[in-house]
Amino acid sequence: MHDRKLPLTPFRRIAVLASGRGSNLQAILDAIAAQRLDAEVVGVFSDKPRARALQRVPPPLRWARDAKSCPDRAAFDADLADAVDAVQPDWVVCAGYLRILGAPFVARFSGRLLNIHPSLLPAHRGLRTHAQAIAAGDAVHGASVHFVIPELDAGAVIAQAAVAVLPGDSTDMLAARVLCVEHPLLVSVLQMAASGRIAEQHGLAILDGQPLFTPLRLEFDAS
């Protein structure tokens, strides 16, 4: 069992894993600064030492290793897991983390490991989700926040936000509109997480003690 070190506010320490731009991380930081999210980012972890995401927090909160300098995925994941554990997070949030996490990492943070994925899961797992949605002729696309399990993008979905796919959409146009809903979606789920309302049991997401048999559908302006 995770040893929670802050008994009065037990769910508010957030570690973020990010590989690139870090706009989702920035949305978390902005929500905390605006007191819309009662939480603390206790570390940002990256497999890309030059990731822009790292620049969004002060140096003591940054951790990065070039994955190519590690002998294999297991060694990298073990280093990463030790570093994440060292900041005693209540939640570990993959926000644009582009490396697949191995089963030992997932097991170590099971039940407190979340990911934001740019599709309405279970549609379009993996990469290039916007191109997948356009190629499939989808009328609606969006984003999901889900618990991470070893199978890629297959864990219990907590909440989703949809956007319309418009005639003539390029992947970049669609990605930009999905990103507009990703940010408030992730913050909304973290508000629930930081107030202890979310858990995972037997592969199901639990909200306020009740299983979520279908994900929450939250609505945000995508323009």
Catalytic residues: 117
For ligand GRF, which residue of 14, 15, 22, 45 counts as binding (CB under 6 A)? 22
Helix 171-194 and helix 23-33, axial crossing angle in degrees, nearest 10: 40
Q: What's the rounded Cα separation, in Å, for the pair 152 and 102?
A: 10
* Residue 17 exposure: Cα atoms within 13 Å on the Cβ side: 26
118 is an interface residue for ligand GRF by CB under 6 A: yes
116 is an interface residue for ligand GRF by CB under 6 A: yes
Q: Are 103 and 88 in contact (CB under 8 A)?
A: no
155 is an interface residue for ligand GRF by CB under 6 A: no
Tokens 């864990």, located at residue: 155
Per-residue DSSP letter, 67: G
Within 10 Å of residue 30's Cβ, how many Cβ atoms? Answer: 13
Beta strand pairing status for 13-17 and 40-46? parallel
- Candidate segments 16-24, 57-65, 103-111, 147-155, binder of ligand GRF by CB under 6 A: 16-24
Both structure tokens of 84: 């994440």
Q: Among all residues, whose Cβ is closest to ligand GRF?
A: 96
Q: What's the rounded Cα separation, in Å, for the pair 223 and 165?
A: 12
- Candidate segments 31-39, 78-86, 111-119, 199-207, binder of ligand GRF by CB under 6 A: 111-119
Q: Are 44 and 61 in contact (CB under 8 A)?
A: yes
18 is an interface residue for ligand GRF by CB under 6 A: yes
- Candidate segments 20-28, 63-71, 152-160, 197-205, binder of ligand GRF by CB under 6 A: 20-28
Nearest CB to ligand GRF, comparing residues 18 and 201: 18
96 is an interface residue for ligand GRF by CB under 6 A: yes
Q: Are 62 and 84 in contact (CB under 8 A)?
A: no
Smallest gap from residue 115 Cβ to ligand GRF (A):
7
92 is an interface residue for ligand GRF by CB under 6 A: no
Nearest CB to ligand GRF, comparing residues 97 and 109: 97
78, with CB counted inside 10 A (0-12, 13-18, 19+), is middle
99 is an interface residue for ligand GRF by CB under 6 A: no
Smallest gap from residue 77 Cβ to ligand GRF (A):
18
- Candidate segments 15-23, 29-37, 56-64, 199-207, binder of ligand GRF by CB under 6 A: 15-23
Contact residues toward ligand GRF (CB under 6 A) are: 18, 20-24, 53, 95-96, 116-118, 179, 182
